[in-house]
Chains A and B, each alone.
Chain A
Amino acid sequence: MKKNILSINNLSVSFDYQENFLSKKQKIKAVNNINLNIKKGSFFGLVGESGSGKTTLGRAILGANKISSGNVIYHDDRKDYNLADITKKEMKEYRKKAQLIFQDPYAALSPRMTVRDIIAEPLEVMGITSSRDETDQRVRDIASKCRLNLEHLRRFPHAFSGGQRQRISIARALVSQPNFIVADESVAALDVSIQADILNLLKQLQDQLDLTYLFISHDLSVVAHVCDIVAVMYLGHIVEMAPSRELFSNPRHSYTKALLSSIPSIDPEKKSRAIELQGEIPSAMNPPSGCVFRTRCPNPCNSCKEGSVEMGLIEVSPGHWVDQCCVNCN
């Protein structure tokens, strides 16, 4: 049994909303009481509704969003880092261990720096290497692992295509030898061929460098192919979580079912069989009581409709967790 690299307990992250100076402050609960463990070495997928809190969760894990309540604990070999209560010094250490691969390979790379300098920057900022030679060595090493031509290190990013830029971004994220990577929509901007290439690369690096990924994506076919476990978010909550094959072959939550049914078919003559969701998308400023999905659920039971059910995951088969009410009604 693999150890957890990350445990998240009752995590909530809120933002303030204020219409103007005079009006009352409201809270947007972007992440609402989430519990989650990520095992070392997993390719953990996070999917779900736009605005459901995926990026916020990823940023909270990296220490880039303030935690409102609960905690996130990163288990290193030697010690634990509690992100809800972390000192400046620990945060400095932690940044070497957990890294983000940016979504946008065009915006993320400074046009005025050479590829070598872009990849080397984290080493210099974090003070990891002590000489230029050592830095160069590290940069060359990771660049070749990411299948970048060493000739290219002297060039500027605009000479590269999206796929090559994404490899540069990946090299930059990996150069400090982190163990944990948050990849937020990291292949969304790429065409399917380059996407397949980058995903193969991420898989290969995972084995070589002993990495754990949190992979946030809207592309369910990609997630099905690369992730070994997947969590589904809706309006700040995780509503279902299961090993990938299980989730895609046997979804239990009504939102997951609607989501999987909406994957567009590549056959233009095939009419969509999507379960259409009715009703307004509720707002994170004012979420429904009880089950957060009840206002759009195609088949809520009576207690769901009243808003009196309590949310919470229960295990329906080994490793397959579903929000409790849904288990009884469907």
Chain B
Amino acid sequence: MKHLLEINNLDVKFDTDEGRITAIENVSLSLDQGKVLGIVGESGSGKSVTAKSIMQLNPGNTIYNDNAEIIIDEENVLKYHSKNDLKKIRGGKVSMIFQEPMASFAPAIKIGHQMVEQLLLHKSLNKKEAKSISIDMLNRVGIADAEKRFNQYAFELSGGMRQRAMIAMALSTMPKLLLADEPTTALDVTIQAQVINLIKDIIKEYNMGVIFITHDLGVIAQVADDVAVMYLGSIVEKGPVNEILKNPKHPYTKGLLNALPDINNLDAPLRPIPGNIPSPLDRPSGCVFRTRCPNPTHECKEGHIEMGLLEVSPGHWVDQCCINCG
């Protein structure tokens, strides 16, 4: 079977006043229909940039490498440039739930109007049908009085309502691929559970594939089939969710799990991973994690090793050096 999405050897760089920033280096991943791939990782590790690359939404100062591929339905979307081609992905085959819901609704246009416009652009519907689908979706994400909320502006909604309206808008076009960037972060846990169930139902109903970006490992455990762990623009470990959470191999993954506050032991101190993330302007050579790794080998410290994932058990991939030293 063909994958729904395949990313091969993606590098993303940004040109800035201070120099060229490497946001993503050599990322490869794939996703099948009906599956959820979770992406976790340090703030600034390139999760959002990865998702935005799929939609071709990175700004003008972005540089992609020539041999990178992002394949959806056997077409490399990195080769898309015309408006019509881009329309096929943005809001068509692919929908994105953005990390900043405030930024995704225009401030002076009512949210309902924006939902309807988006549906009209991508589906052959009349206004009345589009409105009824939109209101139905707002209801399904748990927004009370959906008809009235339909007529409000984004600033009039609470943070969590905005996020749910965003989810409703993204799902209403029934995309093949949903990119969900921190979709439940602004929600309380009861509504979070409800939204997760809704997304799971819709995956089944429409056989959709989902990339689910979140730093909440509990949410990952409950929704994802597979997980990729990112650090400073690279995937350092990936595999089936159960395997990664219960049998992590990379020191960064272990550090993340160790930093999780345990609700059953309130006396335990909070344990951040020591040290600071290097600026993307000075990425360490060799293993990107070596400046903070608790037990790097001599080779790691010298920065000579080459990064690259190796399969340690079926489907479980870990950065190569770590298998020998971790």
List A residues at the B interface (Cβ < 8 Å).
15, 17, 19-20, 47-52, 55, 103-104, 106-107, 155-156, 158-164, 185, 188-197, 199-200, 218-222, 224-225, 244-245, 248, 258-259, 262-269, 272, 274, 276-277, 280-283, 285-286
Contact = CB atoms under 8 A, between A and B. Distances in A.
B158 A264 contact: no
11 contacts: A49-B190, A50-B187, A159-B18, A161-B277, A193-B256, A194-B272, A259-B188, A264-B189, A264-B192, A264-B221, A281-B144
B44 interface: yes
A19 B150 CA distance: 10
Contacts of A162: 43-44
B38 to A, nearest CB: 10
Contacts of A225: 261, 266, 270
B150 to A, nearest CB: 10
B215 A191 contact: yes
B156 interface: yes
Contacts of A277: 190, 194
Contacts of B255: 193
B270 A200 contact: yes
B90 to A, nearest CB: 22
Contacts of A47: 188
Interface string B22-46: 0000000000000000001111110
Given A159-B279, A191-B43, A265-B218, A221 B262 contact: yes
B161 A192 contact: no
A246 to B, nearest CB: 11
Contacts of A219: 216
A174 B256 CA distance: 28
Interface of B: 16-18, 21, 40-45, 99-100, 102-103, 142-145, 148, 151-152, 156-161, 163-164, 182, 185-194, 196, 215-219, 221-222, 241-242, 245-246, 255-257, 259-263, 266, 269-273, 276-277, 279-281
A285 B261 contact: no
Given A159-B279, A196-B270, A48 B188 contact: yes
A5 to B, nearest CB: 25
A15 B157 CA distance: 11
Given A19-B151, A163-B43, A200-B272, A266 B221 contact: yes
A251 to B, nearest CB: 13
Contacts of B44: 160-163
A191 B41 contact: yes
A15 B160 CA distance: 18
Contact of B43 (A107, A189, A259): A189
Given A156-B17, A192-B217, A248-B266, A50 B191 contact: yes
